[in-house]
Amino acid sequence: MAARIGVYPGTFDPITLGHLDIIRRGSKLVDQLIIGVTTNPSKDPMFTPDERMAMVEREMASQGIANVSVVGFNALLMHFAEKQGATVIVRGLRAVADFEYEYQMAGMNQQLNARIETIFLMADVCLQPIASRLVKEIALFGGEIGDFVTPAVRDDVVARVELRGRLGDY
C-alpha cells in the first residue's frame, strides 16, 4: 500500500500555535505531512521565504513530530501537491469567513485535480482567534504575543520588529 501523503500549505509568517495544532492533528491522518511554505503576493511578509522555512523546520524539530517535512514552493498548490505525490490537502479553519474562502478554494482545486482531497480541521477553540496577521500587528504596536506563538517564534518576531521599528506611540 502506498504511503498516504498530505500537504499543509501556508505562508507561516510567522508560524503560530494554531498552525502547530493543525500540523499535530493533520500528521495523525497521513503517513507523511509536507508543510508547504509558500509566498502570497497579496500579503506583506515579515520574514523571507528562507527564514519562514527555517522557523517552521525548527518548530517541527522541537515538537518531535517524525512524519513531517518542510518544503518551500512558489507555484499553484495543486501542481505542488501533485509533485509531492500528495492525495490530501490539509486546511485549518478558524471561523465562518475561513470556511467560505476555503470552500471556494477546495472547489477550484477539485476542478484542477479531483484525485486530491481537501480536508478541513477546525482549530482548537482556544486557538481560533489566532492569525499570523494579527500576531504581527500586535507585535508591531508593542503588544505581547507570547500566548499566540512559541517562545522561539516570539523571539524571532520581537527581533524583527526591533530591526524594522515599532509602529505608533500613544
Q: Which residues are catalytic?
A: 19, 43, 94, 132
Q: Which cell is 162 given?
A: 526591533
Would you call 119 helix, strand, or coil by DSSP?
strand
Phi-psi region of 80 (alpha: psi -120 to 50; beta: other; left: phi over 0): alpha
Is it true that the peptide bond before 45 is cis, omega within 30 degrees of 0? no
Terminal CA-CA length for the chain: 61
